[in-house]
Amino acid sequence: MRLNISNNQISEKHIMKENPMSIRSKDSIEEALLSLMLEQPYKNITIRSLTERAGLSRQTFYLNFEDKEAILTRHLSRMLDEIMLRVQVEHVDTIQKLTDVYTTVVEENASFFRLLVENGLTDLAKGVFREKLGHLPPVLACQRENRTDTERRYFNAFWVAAFIEVYSTWLLEDRATDRDEIVSILSDIMRGDYFFAPDDKNIGG
């Protein structure tokens, strides 16, 4: 069963701490950036064009965001908060279920993710994903208590890069591959099924 959860529901606690006027300004600036990205390359979008599209002053922009990247970071963070909530509500406890949740959110935000890919902004997405990964329930082996911080950090880097690259390829190919096959591929990668034959998984200890 798919959950239709809005960003407002996801960020309710955070929103309660923010000034409503600031929230409206941030939302307007975010919407302005996303609409401009549909019309021109990200690198060509100026703060002036953003504020004009949002109907806000330059001062208001800098009261709410440091730069354009901060706008995208906010948008990505809200989407990943949605993933965190779905993981909790749906009691996700397997890699298959986890990749299904991620794939669903990518599908629902396909236009935005494709804009990131086409504008060379996947590194920004990777950074936000890595930050949020630590808040997932212990579904992944790297999250077990006996893992060192170094092991977790490098596994997270691999896991995030794998997901971003698979989704980037999928979106650039206009999602020609069935979404359930994408879920299966990602799950196999995470379990190591793409690297070892069943009888070889214990090689090297």
Query: Could you tell me if residue 27 is left (phi over 0), alpha (psi between -120 and 50 degrees) or otherwise beta?
Result: alpha
- CA of 101: how far to CAs of 50, 169, 180, in Å? 32, 18, 11
Q: In the prediction, which pLDDT does 9 show? A: 44
Q: In the prediction, which pLDDT does 166 show? A: 94
Q: In the prediction, which pLDDT does 167 show? A: 95
15-63 pLDDT tens trace: 446 788 889 999 999 999 999 999 999 999 999 999 999 999 999 999 9
Any idea where the domains of the chain sit in the sequence?
8-65, 71-199
Q: In the prediction, which pLDDT does 44 show? A: 97
CATH number 3.40.50.300 is the correct assignment for the domain at 8-65: no
User: How many Å apart are CA 137 and CA 134, to the nearest integer?
Assistant: 8
C-alpha 83 chain-centroid distance: 8
Q: DSSP secondary structure string, 53-75?
A: HHT--HHHHHHH-SSHHHHHHHH
Per-residue burial over 38-59, b if 16 or more Cβ lie within 10 Å, else e, is eeeebeebeeeebbebbebeee
Stated length of the chain = 205
User: Under DSSP, is residue 202 helix (H, G, I), strand (E, B) or coil?
Assistant: coil
Q: In the prediction, which pLDDT does 119 show? A: 96
Q: In the prediction, which pLDDT does 139 show? A: 58
Q: Provide the token pair at 128.
A: 């936000």
pLDDT along the chain (205 residues), means of 10: 41 58 93 96 96 96 96 93 86 87 93 95 91 66 66 83 93 95 91 63 44
CB of 131 within 8 A of CB of 83?
no
Residue 20, number of CB atoms within 10 A of its CB: 9
